[in-house]
Amino acid sequence: MSPSPTVPRPALRHETVLLAVVVLEWLCFHALGPRFGTLENSFDLLRHSAEIGLLALAMTPVILTGGIDLSVGSLLGLCAVLFGKLWRDAGLDPAAAAGCTLVLGALAGGLNATLIAGLRLPPLIVTLGTYSLFRGLAEAITRGADTFTNFPSAFLFLGQERWLGLPTQAWLFAAVAIAVWLLVHRTTFGRACRAQGFAPEGARYAGLPAGRQLAAVYVLSGTIAALAAVIYTARLGQARADAGTGYELLAITAVVLGGTSIFGGRGSVHGTLLGVAALAILNNGLVHARQPREVAGLLTGALLLLALAAGTGPKLWAARRARATPPPSP
């Protein structure tokens, strides 16, 4: 369907703008850093962004419902420590320990879910509480000093080696990305999440099981944080209570950069993936362009604000023009 010439040109879709930004970034750094475009560096990019990417993927449905989960970074730390504890002290083999860690992550997410969906407490406050609680638990379990290390190489394979040509964790990341994309964009659950974020009261009057849905997104977020913890531990070969410090904000930045409204209701998983890519390329590329690391923070902020303005600015302008000259009736 081609637009009739009288209808004002709609703004570019946010994801399109962001894609252009990602491509531009890529070309820019490709020109500046001779090794930026190498396959090896692309694998580094994938490895370094897998954990934050996973957290951002899980954060997308949470923010779509109009909520937020500030506890994921701390939960990553707690799960890393629990994983280490299960493997070293309880004597489980890494696969079993990883399985238990996922269950524990789901339980921790369940705590958020109970407080938010059950007691109807605001997500910001609840997860601010668990943000401190989870980190505190991780520090208490290790007394701040215990470090888990010397993992078997079969486990480190997950974080440091390649499988079928790609970094091992990239496969897991891709699987989760596809699953979350399908969940958000192709199921009634995803639509209900959006409805919930767009108009909570409306969703309730429409008979949607708002409580169960809300609970599910936080449990999902907890489980994926646990998965990220296992991958993180395999990548570093070390689990300590300070793992994942500050990751929640990076994940939220990626989601918002990806065009998801912080008020809920609007957004997409592919947008989030592009957001993760934009941030990862920026961080990595600056090193290749031999620029100081401090610049990354500055440019991340500028990129976020510019992308948001580029996404909404033309839309506002188009809307204003549409109001000024109402389109003739067909």
Partner 1 sequence: MGRAARPRDPPSLPLMIKPALSLLLCGLVFLAGCGRAPEAARDAGGGGKRLTVALLPKSKGNAYFISCRAGAEKAARALGVELLFDGPTDTDPAKQNEIIENWITLGVDVIAAACENREGISTALRKAQARGIKVITYDADALPDARAFFVNQATPEGIGHTLMDEAARLTNAEGEFAVILSTLTASNMQEWLKHIRARLAEKYPKMKLVAVRPCDDQKDKAQAEATTLMSAHPNLRLLMNICSPAVPGAAEAVKQAGKAGQVKVIGLGLPNENRRYVKDGVTDSVILWKTEDLGALTVEAAVALARGALQPGATTFRTAAGASYEVKGDQILLGQPFIFNRANIDQFNF
The answer to the question of residue 42 lying near partner 1 (CB under 8 A) is yes
Return the ∠ at Cα 15 (arms to 25 and 280), rounded to 5°.
Answer: 40
Q: Under the criterion CB under 8 A, does residue 16 sit at the interface with partner 1?
A: yes
Closest CB to partner 1 among residues 39, 324: 39
Range 108-167, binding partner 1 (CB under 8 A): 147, 149-150, 156, 160
HEC profile of 86-148? HHHCCCCCHHHHHHHHHHHHHHHHHHHHHHHHHCCCCHHHHHHHHHHHHHHHHHHHHCCCCCE
Q: What per-residue string of b and e applies to 238-271 under the rule 16 or more CB within 10 Å gives b? A: bbbbebbeebbebbbbbbbbbbbbeebbbbbbbb
Half-sphere exposure of 291 (CA within 13 A, CB side): 15
Stretch of residues binding partner 1 (CB under 8 A), selected from 14-22, 107-115, 201-209, 221-229: 14-22
Site string for partner 1, 222-251 (x = CB under 8 A): ----------x--xxxx-x-xx-xxx----
Total residues at the site for partner 1 (CB under 8 A)?
66
Of 155, 159, 147, the C-alpha closest to 84 is 147
Query: Based on CB atoms, which residue is closest to partner 1, 38 or 305?
Result: 38
Binding partner 1 by CB under 8 A: which of 37, 110, 136, 211?
37
Q: Where are the beta strands (DSSP E) in 168-278?
A: 238-239
Residues with Cβ within 8 Å of residue 189, at least 6 apart in sequence: 183, 213, 216
CA distance 132 to 271: 29
Which one among 12, 92, 128, 166 touches partner 1, defined by CB under 8 A?
A: 12
> Quick one: which of 191, 183, 187, 186 has its CA closest to 208?
191
Closest CB to partner 1 among 101 and 240?
240
Can you read off the two tokens belonging to residue 196? 């919930």
Q: How far is the CB of 318 from partner 1 (least distance, A)?
A: 7
Nearer to partner 1, 34 or 207 (CB): 34
Backbone angles phi, psi at 328, to 5 degrees: -65, 145
CB of 121 to partner 1, least distance (A): 27
Q: How far is the CB of 135 from partner 1 (least distance, A)?
A: 12
Q: How far is the CB of 69 from partner 1 (least distance, A)?
A: 19
x/- map, 279-298, partner 1, by CB under 8 A: -----x--xx-x-xxx--x-
Q: Answer for the pair 54, 76: CB distance below 8 angstroms, yes or no.
A: no
Nearest to 59, CA basis, from 209, 199, 247: 247
Residue from 6, 40, 201, 325 in contact with partner 1 (CB under 8 A): 40
By CB under 8 A, is residue 88 in contact with partner 1? Answer: no
Interaction of residue 330 with partner 1, rule CB under 8 A? no
Of 103 and 295, the one with the shorter C-beta distance to partner 1 is: 295
CB-wise, 115 or 273, nearer to partner 1?
273
Could you tell me if 224 and 75 are in contact, meaning their C-beta atoms sit under 8 angstroms apart? no
Compute the least distance from the CB of residue 65 to partner 1, in Å: 13
Q: Counting contacts by CB under 8 A, is residue 6 touching partner 1?
A: no
d(CA 49, CA 174): 12
Interface residue list for partner 1 (CB under 8 A) = 1-3, 7-10, 12-13, 15-16, 19, 22-23, 26-27, 30, 33-42, 44, 47-48, 147, 149-150, 156, 160, 185, 191, 194, 198, 232, 235-238, 240, 242-243, 245-247, 265-266, 268, 270, 273-274, 277, 284, 287-288, 290, 292-294, 297, 318
